[in-house]
Amino acid sequence: VENEFVDYLCSQLPPHPLVRIGPGDDAAVLAAGADEDAVVTTDLLTEGVDFLLDEVDARRIGRKALAVNLSDLASMAARPEAVVVALALPRAGGFRLAVELYEGMLPLAEQFGTAIAGGDTNSWDGALVIAVTAIGRLTDRGPLLRSGCQVGDRLLVTGSLGGSIAGHQFDFRPRVNEALQLHADYQLNAGIDISDGLALDVSRLVGASNCGAVLQLDTIPISDAARCLAKSSSDGQSPLDHALGDGEDFELVLAVEPNEARRLMADQPLDVRLTDIGSCVDQSGLWSACPDGRLIPLHPTGYEHQLDG
C-alpha cells in the first residue's frame, strides 16, 4: 500500500537543510527566503483510476488535475502561486485533448491567482496521465500540518461528505480561501484534506500526530449525493458509509482545541458549514462512540492505491 511506500521512502531520504517538512504530509515545506517558506505538492491523475475520458469532458478532467493540487495547498494553509503541468497524451487527438485540459485549468488558475508557469507535453502509446505540481507560499502563521493534533482537540469538517462520484469529484472548489481565513483568525492545530475518504484521512491525520480519533457518527454531515447514491444502489452502503469512505470530497478536517472549536462553531465564519464530528483521543486508531460512551473500532474505509510486490 502507499503508506508502506512512504515509510520506505522516508527511511531512505537523508535530511536536507532546505526541507522543513518532507514526504508524508499533504505537501512538502521548503525553506525559501528570509521568513516565508514555500510549499510544494504534486498529484498525478491517470485515466481509468481518476477519470474516464469516454465519460467526462476533458475540461473537467483538467480542472480536477489542478484542483486536487490546490486542495493539498489548502490543507497546509498555503497560498497557491504557480503550477507546472506534465502531460502524457494518447497519440490520436492529443493536441485537441491538451487544449481542452488547459481550457479546464485556466479559469480555475485565474480564480485562485495561480500562474501556469510551465509544463511538459508528451505523446505516447498509452492513456492520458496528468501530473500537476503546485507551489505555494505560507503565511506568517506557518504551515498547517497533519502532526499537530493534541489529545482532546475537536475535529471539525467543512461542507458535507460522500457521493462525490456523482460530480463533486470534478466540480469541487478547493478550500484554499477557507483554510487561509481560518488559519489567520483562529488557532488551528492540524489539518488534512479529504482525498481518499473521511475515515481513512482522519486516521492518517491522527496517526501523524501519534494519537487516535473518535468520530460521532450521528454528527457527520452527509451530502445529498451520498443519500441519493445509497437510495439508487443496491450494494447495501448507507449514506453514512458513503460519507465515511467515498473520498474525493476535498473538504478540510481540522483539529482545534475545544474552546477555540466552540468559538469557531459559534462564529461559523465561512460560507460553507463547519461541523464538529469528534475528537482526538489517547488511544491510537479510529473509533466510533456508542451512546453509552464505549468506543468501537471504526474501519478506516477509503481509497488506497495498491502497490503490489
Nearer to a copy of itself, 122 or 233 (CB): 122
Residue from 71, 133, 158, 279 that binds a copy of itself (CB under 8 A)? Answer: 133
d(CA 34, CA 215): 41
Nearer to a copy of itself, 8 or 258 (CB): 8
Residue 39: all three cell numbers together: 510549499
The distance of closest approach from Cβ of residue 11 to a copy of itself in the complex, given in angstroms and rounded to an integer, is 11
Residue from 53, 56, 100, 106 that binds a copy of itself (CB under 8 A)? Answer: 106
Residue from 102, 170, 250, 287 that binds a copy of itself (CB under 8 A)? Answer: 102
- Please tell me whether residue 184 binds a copy of itself under the rule CB under 8 A: no
Residue 31: all three cell numbers together: 525553506
Nearer to a copy of itself, 24 or 285 (CB): 24
The distance of closest approach from Cβ of residue 71 to a copy of itself in the complex, given in angstroms and rounded to an integer, is 13
State the Cα angle at 141 between 140 and 144, rounded to 5°.
130
Which of positions 27-56 make contact with a copy of itself (CB under 8 A)? 27-28, 30, 32-34, 36, 38, 40-44, 46-49
Nearer to a copy of itself, 48 or 236 (CB): 48
Nearer to a copy of itself, 110 or 171 (CB): 110
- Please tell me whether residue 266 binds a copy of itself under the rule CB under 8 A: no
Residue from 57, 111, 118, 152 that binds a copy of itself (CB under 8 A)? Answer: 118
Nearer to a copy of itself, 2 or 224 (CB): 2
Residue from 111, 122, 210, 238 that binds a copy of itself (CB under 8 A)? Answer: 122
